[in-house]
């Protein structure tokens, strides 16, 4: 796979050495067991896959090169490059201005832009409406389009099945940038609707089976369907695609459920079901799958708690948190600074949508066993600083430097 020129501030000697060796040992990526870093009184189990994915590294490389190659020019980002505060803060520090927030609210009016400006499309992609606005201003975005190729793959698949008269069901968070972009591209070619979760898929099934009056559809799915959508005619043939950062298992469960609904209504299975339900399993992102599978493998290890590192508004990271929380106490942190001391940690509560403190997170018994993973937009350098912070609370038998030397030697 292609390698990218990512600023060294985001790299980690420790994590790089470990990842290189694990890739060498497991070229087919079939081993999802975690990597043990044994410091004696504290043992850290690192997820097999975590951190920057292909799409994120591609976006970072393009963005930072754009800044370096265009001194004196005004450079804008449509919204956050990725959902990581450190990366976005660094771009702001280098003079990049953000046109919108994460939900599409304008921070800078499009009328303030001109054809000499550079506008970078973030990794999530953007809507056709915004593309049109930029083109009307004479702003060329092709060179500065960092849309993840796996997001574009979903768009391509959506177009393919829409042209075969299937309605596109997008599994995603309705307000998320990527979902808005995917919905926009899907709706260009045919009817489209967004379902947030299984409960909304079940609600949709009521309209497919005509158990709920069609008039209720517009109220129940307000702002989640394309113009002119008719539930009586547009739900006869459907295909499910997803926001690439959703839980792959959730997307598959929704697709499987809706397929059964179509079988129930039309009484056909086997090859005949394709008349009403399109096969779209190939739209699931490899990195999302790998990271989530690695977390499941990591959770087979008995541990005292898990740490998940990443931006609090990161969809893919929040799903890793949800997986971990099903098995053990989990702390969601954005940086090592949230580990306030050996007795207190400040972490994000997904249910309360806010940071909360927890006392005595480190058990009194030793060794302490900790599971660690991070989201696809979290720099490896932050993961290393978190490890160093935890290790600093213990009289360790080996230093981080010794661990780095050991893994670097193995890699060599």
Measured at the alpha carbon of residue 403, what is the angle toward residues 402 and 406, in degrees to the nearest 5? 85
Beta-strand pair 118-120/330-333: unpaired
Q: Are 189 and 163 contacting, i.e. CB atoms less than 8 angstroms apart?
A: yes
Q: Can you spell out the DSSP letters for 164-214? A: TTPEEEEES-TTSHHHHHHHHHHHHHS-EEEE-SHHHHHHHHHHHTT-S-G
Q: Are 22 and 35 contacting, i.e. CB atoms less than 8 angstroms apart?
A: yes
- Closest by CA position to 327, among listed 387, 383, 369: 369
Q: In the structure encoding, which two tokens stand for residue 335, read together?
A: 């940086």
Query: Within 13 Å and on the Cβ side, how many CA atoms surround 68?
Result: 9
Q: How far is CA 345 from the centre of its chain?
A: 24
The CA distance from 240 to 280, in Å, is 6
Active site residue 178: yes
Q: How many helices (H) and strands (E) does the chain have?
A: 14, 14
Output Rg (C-alpha) for the chain, integer angstroms: 23
If phi over 0 gives left and psi between -120 and 50 gives alpha, with beta otherwise, what is residue 68? alpha
- Closest by CA position to 375, among listed 319, 298, 303, 337: 319
The per-residue b/e assignment along 338-359, b for 16 or more CB within 10 angstroms, e otherwise, is bbeeeeebebbeeeeeeeeeee
* From 178, 200, 336, 384, active-site residue: 178
Beta-strand pair 75-77/97-98: parallel
For 350-405, the three-class secondary structure string (H helix, E strand, C coil) is: CCCCEEEEEECCCCCCCCEEEEEEECCCCCHHHHHHHHHHHHCCCCCCCCHHHHHH
Task: Write phi, then psi, for 26 (nearest 5 degrees).
Answer: -135, 70
What residues are annotated to the active site? Answer: 178
């Amino acid at each position: 796979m292609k390698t990218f020129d990512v600023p060294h501030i985001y790299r980690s000697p420790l994590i790089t050495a470990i990842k290189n060796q694990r890739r060498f040992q497991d070229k087919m990526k079939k081993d999802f067991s975690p990597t043990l870093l044994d410091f004696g009184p504290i043992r850290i189990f690192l997820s097999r896959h975590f951190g920057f994915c292909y799409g994120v590294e591609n976006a970072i490389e393009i963005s930072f090169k754009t800044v370096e190659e265009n001194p004196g020019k005004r450079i804008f980002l449509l919204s956050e490059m990725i959902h990581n505060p450190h990366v976005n803060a660094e771009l702001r520090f280098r003079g990049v201005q953000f046109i919108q927030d994460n939900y599409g609210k304008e921070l800078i009016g499009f009328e303030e832009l001109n054809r000499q400006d550079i506008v970078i499309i973030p990794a999530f992609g953007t809507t056709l409406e915004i593309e049109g606005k930029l083109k009307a201003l004479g702003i060329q975005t092709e060179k500065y389009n960092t849309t993840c190729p796996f997001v574009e793959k979903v768009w391509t698949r959506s177009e393919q099945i829409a042209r075969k008269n299937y309605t596109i069901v997008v599994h995603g968070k309705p307000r998320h940038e990527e979902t808005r972009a995917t919905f926009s591209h899907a709706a260009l070619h045919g009817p489209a609707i967004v379902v947030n979760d299984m409960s909304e898929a079940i609600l949709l099934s009521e309209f497919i089976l005509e158990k709920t009056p069609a008039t209720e559809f517009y109220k129940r799915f307000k702002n989640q369907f394309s113009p002119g959508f008719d539930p009586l005619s547009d739900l006869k043939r459907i295909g499910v695609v997803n926001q690439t950062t959703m839980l792959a298992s959730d997307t598959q469960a929704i697709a499987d459920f809706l397929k059964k609904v179509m079988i129930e209504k039309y009484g056909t299975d086997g090859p005949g079901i394709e008349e009403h339900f399109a096969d779209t399993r190939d739209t699931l992102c490899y990195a999302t799958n790998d990271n989530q599978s690695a977390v499941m493998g990591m959770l087979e290890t008995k541990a005292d708690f898990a740490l998940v590192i990443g931006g609090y508004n990161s969809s893919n990271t929040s799903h890793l948190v949800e997986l971990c929380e099903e098995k053990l106490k989990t702390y969601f942190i954005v940086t090592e600074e949230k580990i306030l001391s050996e007795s207190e940690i400040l972490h994000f509560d997904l249910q309360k949508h806010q940071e909360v403190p927890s006392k005595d997170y480190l058990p009194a018994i030793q060794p302490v066993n900790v599971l660690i993973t991070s989201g696809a937009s979290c720099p490896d350098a932050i993961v290393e600083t978190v490890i160093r912070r935890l290790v600093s609370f213990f009289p360790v038998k080996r230093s981080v430097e010794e661990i780095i030397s050991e893994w670097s030697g193995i890699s060599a």
